[in-house]
Amino acid sequence: MRIPPGRAGRYWLRERLAVAERGAALLDRKLVALDEAAARLTALCDEARHEWESAHREAVRRHTRAVLLGGRGSLELAAAPPARVEVSTTVLAGARYPDRVDCLLPQDFRDTITGSAALVAARTAHCEALAAGVRYAAAAAAVRAIDREVLATRIRVRGLRYRRIPALRTAEAELEFALEEQERADRVRLGRVLEGNRATR
């Protein structure tokens, strides 16, 4: 640190120390908000994972039944066009994460379901599994984004609390000691000058 000399350095250090302490307090509040969001998003992610696993199992079951009843060739009738995924994001305490996701299949695909009942059920189950998988992926991405921000914030807080603030306090104490020594030396010099002036009268 390049500290200005003399009393200006005292004010400079006190100002930097106040800023660092306010910054640490703000980061502590940010951590509380992020921890709450992480707990909420982790619960949502777990729920989305369970939904996806359940939908996946159902899709596999329906798929197997459709193949057994109609053969593998019948699956070509149920082939889906590419889906479109729309993701909207939000920002919390500096962390951007997906907060809403939609998996969109063309409307005509949903309206033109042909084939056996088993094939229709398999196609519907796969659509539901796809939507559940997209929701789970978005929820997992949200948890990762918040976890990254929590980690980065904890590193910043530790840097302030265990490095910057102690360094500023040490520098302030050293400067205070140096200023006191200088004032003591100035008083001694002033006393000698005054004694010398009295002696010459």
pLDDT band at residue 28, thresholds of 50, 70 and 90?
very high
- Cut 0.85: pTM above it: no
Specify the range with the lowest mean pLDDT, choosing from 4-8, 126-130, 166-170, 178-182: 4-8
pLDDT band at residue 192, thresholds of 50, 70 and 90?
confident
Arithmetic mean of pLDDT, 125-146: 93
pLDDT above 90: residue 150: yes
Specify the range with the lowest mean pLDDT, choosing from 6-10, 167-171, 191-195: 191-195
Strands 95-104 and 84-92: antiparallel
What stretch of H or E contains 33?
helix 7-70
Alpha carbon of 124 to those of 34, 55, 83, 169: distances in Å?
38, 10, 14, 66
Buried b (16+ CB within 10 A) or exposed e, 147-180: eebbeebeebbeebeeebbeebeebbeebeeeee
pLDDT above 60: residue 110: no
DSSP 8-state class, residue 62: H
Phi, psi of 102, rounded to the nearest 5 degrees: -125, 135
pLDDT band at residue 126, thresholds of 50, 70 and 90?
confident
d(C-alpha 136, C-alpha 51), whole Å: 8
